[in-house]
Amino acid sequence: METIGQQALTGIISHLFFIGVTWRVLQAVNMDPLFKKGRVFEARVLIVFLTITIGTTVSNFFLDYLQWSGQLMFLF
């Protein structure tokens, strides 16, 4: 049971870390030309959704890679 708790904590920390990194990166991108004038709320919601989507995808890749590398010992 302790291992499950450790995996859960690792997953939460990983997701939050990569979502934070993605947020910082997307703040550097000028997305103003992509949106109509006066659509500030919609633009912010899209940025949040993109941040969560990209951050979670990268985090899942990282966690899968970590899990797979730990399982390589069962190959030999």
Domain boundaries, the chain: 2-75
> Chunked in runs of 10, what are the mean pLDDT values of the chain (76 residues)?
90 98 95 86 94 98 95 89
The Cα 51–Cα 57 span in angstroms is: 10
Predicted pLDDT of residue 21 = 98
Q: Contact at 8 Å (CB) between 32 and 72? A: no
Predicted pLDDT of residue 2 = 83
Predicted pLDDT of residue 23 = 98
pTM of the shown model: 0.85
